[in-house]
Amino acid sequence: MTPPRLLIIGPQGSGKGTQGQRIAETFRIPAVSTGDVFRQNVKEGTPLGLQVKAIIDAGDLVPDELTGAIVRDRLSQDDAAAGFLLDGYPRNLGQVGDLDAFLDERDEPLTGVIELSVPRDESIRRIAQRAAEQGRADDNDESIAKRLAIYESETAPILDVYRERGVAFEIDGIGTLDEVFERIITALAERGIVA
């Protein structure tokens, strides 16, 4: 059986956080969301949190070195030995190289890359709705546009790398949570990744 060492990727508002949690629960693996780690540190007012807050409030992304160190530390913990789901990392080609080096040392390559595909206008609608429901200050019009532009220019190209390796597959992110989840589980099963 193929171990679930997964990456979920998609633009902000694609539902990757929600689907990632469901996948992690189904496979009993940790969901490693860099956004969640950063938000927790901001909430707790840690030195990392204060540094991250200033970066996020400006609509920028946290530097690669900082993000990579956090992910490597998290994937080294015992609960990630049987698999994991990454959400929000890697987000650019440099981070792909960093993650590859770490996973190669452990002989643990990614076994599946789930691309949640939604149109840009749907992403924007969902983010605006999330901002209203959760009161997230980082979800304002200017930062949303900036983050989507960064996703399109920096993150989307990493999918080509994973497609060439034969581990990436696209999932239609439009539909109910259950419909999208079923598409993901079916696609994983077709690749020998079953809970």
Once rounded to an integer, what is the mean pLDDT over residues 168-194?
96
Taking only the tens place, the pLDDT of each residue in 135-177 is: 766 667 787 888 888 888 988 899 999 999 999 999 999 999 9
Please tell me the predicted confidence (pLDDT) of residue 128.
82
Residue 169: count other Cβ atoms within 10 Å of its Cβ.
17
Q: Tell me, yes or no, if 136 is annotated catalytic.
A: yes
> Between the CA of residue 103 and those of 84, 96, 136, what are the distances in Å?
12, 10, 33
Instruction: List the CATH number of the domain containing 75.
Output: 3.40.50.300
The closest alpha carbon to 38, from 20, 25, 51, belongs to 51
Please tell me the predicted confidence (pLDDT) of residue 120.
87
Number of domains in the chain: 1
Looking at every residue in the chain, the average pLDDT score rounds to 90
pLDDT-derived band at 21, boundaries 50, 70, 90: very high
| CA–CA gap between residue 189 and residue 159 (Å, rounded) | 20
Once rounded to an integer, what is the mean pLDDT over residues 3-21?
93
Among residues 5, 53, 91, 183, which one is catalytic? 91
Look up the pTM and report it.
Answer: 0.85
195: in domain: no
> Which residue segment(s) compose the domain that 100 sits in?
5-190
Burial pattern 4-27, b for ≥16 Cβ within 10 A else e, equals: bbbbbbbbbbbbbbebbbbbbebb
The closest alpha carbon to 134, from 32, 7, 22, 13, belongs to 13
79: in domain: yes
Name which of 11-20, 51-60, 80-89 the model is least confident about: 51-60
Q: Tell me, yes or no, if 74 is annotated catalytic.
A: no
User: What is the 3-state secondary structure of 104-153?
Assistant: HHHCCCCCEEEEEECCHHHHHHHHHHHHHHHCCCCCCHHHHHHHHHHHHH
Among residues 72, 130, 146, 163, which one is catalytic? 130
Edge to edge, what strands does the sheet with 84-87 contain?
31-33, 84-87, 5-9, 112-117, 168-172
Please tell me the predicted confidence (pLDDT) of residue 138.
67
Q: Tell me, yes or no, if 106 is annotated catalytic.
A: no
Q: Tell me, yes or no, if 130 is annotated catalytic.
A: yes
Please tell me the predicted confidence (pLDDT) of residue 84.
97
The closest alpha carbon to 91, from 35, 137, 38, 138, belongs to 35
Once rounded to an integer, what is the mean pLDDT over residues 179-183?
98
45: in domain: yes
70: in domain: yes
Higher pLDDT, 49 or 20: 20
Higher pLDDT, 127 or 104: 104
Once rounded to an integer, what is the mean pLDDT over residues 37-41?
81
Percent of residues, the chain, with pLDDT higher than 70: 98
Please tell me the predicted confidence (pLDDT) of residue 181.
98
Q: Tell me, yes or no, if 43 is annotated catalytic.
A: no
Contact 84, 27 (CB under 8 A): no
Please tell me the predicted confidence (pLDDT) of residue 137.
67
Please tell me the predicted confidence (pLDDT) of residue 104.
96
Once rounded to an integer, what is the mean pLDDT over residues 18-36?
93
Among residues 5, 22, 126, 147, which one is catalytic? 147
Among residues 16, 22, 53, 183, which one is catalytic? 16
